[in-house]
Amino acid sequence: MKAGWVGFPREVDNFWEAVASYAKMGYKGMEGGEALLGKGNDNENIHRFQELGLEVLTISTSIYEIKESLEPIIERAKLLKTNRATMWFGSMMFDTQPTKADFYAELESMEKAAAELAKENIQLCYHNHDKEFVRCYDNVTAIDHMLLNTQHLKLELDVAWTAWAGLDPVTIIKRCNSRIAAIHMKDYTDAAPRSGETPVFTSLGTGTVDIVGILQCLHELGHEWAIYEQDNLRNLSGYESMMLSCLYMKETGLF
């Protein structure tokens, strides 16, 4: 398997020093490829990134962009040489649950965009949080409505938010495996789900999420990437958390 990251660098003065240090740790790819753009010559930056042995794992998009035009998404993906575009949230992120009609309209837009992007060999992915697993329509969870009523849309499963919703990430990975395009590896310190609260995120292996069990499951199912994410730093710096999390994954012997 290969280790990737998303959400870093933070608190650094030199972007290139940071990503070079991550490559030296053993990371092989970065999500959010737009970080390479707008820093001078885009093509030179992409080449420099690749020279570090790194690749762009996804670009970012939104429900608003996919409704407006898919051309910018296709252009960014091809420029950054990636075959994934990820929506980091949808209307389920709002405090008030959307109506079923509004939610289904959103699903229709996502599926239509996913089908069109698939023609360009680009997977449109949806990144979950906890609400998709706890909010229901007709006694069926929002995540199941999403998977049952789309065909081309893929899931970027965040294991910590899945666990925070009270579910076992390994079970969900096995059940949704064919629809999962990528996995976010994330840990938190308190295993008890608390409605309306946010977990205390921490470096991989220092919390209560079954990181080793999840990695073993991913390995058995043939997944290539495990992508480290930490929404908020705890006690360590970004560099320290990146290092600790990478070493923890490598210590499993699966990388």
Contact 49, 27 (CB under 8 A): no
Contact 172, 157 (CB under 8 A): yes
Compute the mean pLDDT over every residue in the chain, rounded to the nearest whole number. Answer: 96
Where residue 190 falls among pLDDT bands split at 50, 70, 90?
confident
Q: How far apart are CA 152 and CA 136, in angstroms?
A: 22
pLDDT digits over 134-189, tens only? Answer: 999 999 999 999 999 999 999 999 999 999 999 999 999 999 999 999 999 999 99
Query: Which amino acid, 55?
Result: E
Q: How far, in Å, are 13, 141, 197 from residue 201 at the CA level? A: 24, 25, 12
pLDDT computed for residue 194 by the predictor: 72
Residue bearing tokens 């053993």: 26
pLDDT computed for residue 231 by the predictor: 95
pLDDT digits over 64-95, tens only? Answer: 999 999 999 999 999 999 999 999 999 999 99
Burial class (CB in 10 A: 0-12, 13-18, 19+), 122: buried
Contacts of 130-137 with CB under 8 Å at 24 or more apart are 130/161, 130/162, 130/164, 130/165, 130/193, 131/92, 131/93, 131/97, 131/165, 132/92, 132/165, 133/161, 133/162, 133/165, 133/166, 133/167, 134/165, 134/166, 134/195, 135/92, 135/97, 137/100, 137/103
Taking residues 32-47, what's their average pLDDT?
96
pLDDT computed for residue 12 by the predictor: 77
Taking residues 34-42, what's their average pLDDT?
94
Query: Which amino acid, 45?
Result: N
pLDDT digits over 96-138, tens only? Answer: 999 999 999 999 999 999 999 999 999 999 999 999 999 999 9
Where residue 195 falls among pLDDT bands split at 50, 70, 90?
low
Where residue 13 falls among pLDDT bands split at 50, 70, 90?
confident
pLDDT computed for residue 197 by the predictor: 81
Share above pLDDT 90 across residues of the chain, in percent, rounded to a whole number: 93
- Which pairing describes strands 180-185 and 136-137: parallel, antiparallel, or unpaired? unpaired
pLDDT computed for residue 99 by the predictor: 97
Q: Over the range 67-104, which residues count as b (16 or more CB within 10 Å of their CB) and which as e?
A: eeebeebbebbebbebbbbbbbebbbeeeebbeeeebe
Is the backbone of residue 179 left (phi > 0), alpha (psi -120 to 50) or beta?
A: alpha
CATH 3.20.20.150 assigned to 2-251:
yes
Query: Which amino acid, 229?
Result: E
List the chain domain ranges.
2-251
10 vs 133, higher pLDDT: 133
Q: What residues pair up with 141 in beta bridges, in sequence order?
A: 136
Local structure of residue 152 (DSSP, 8 states): S
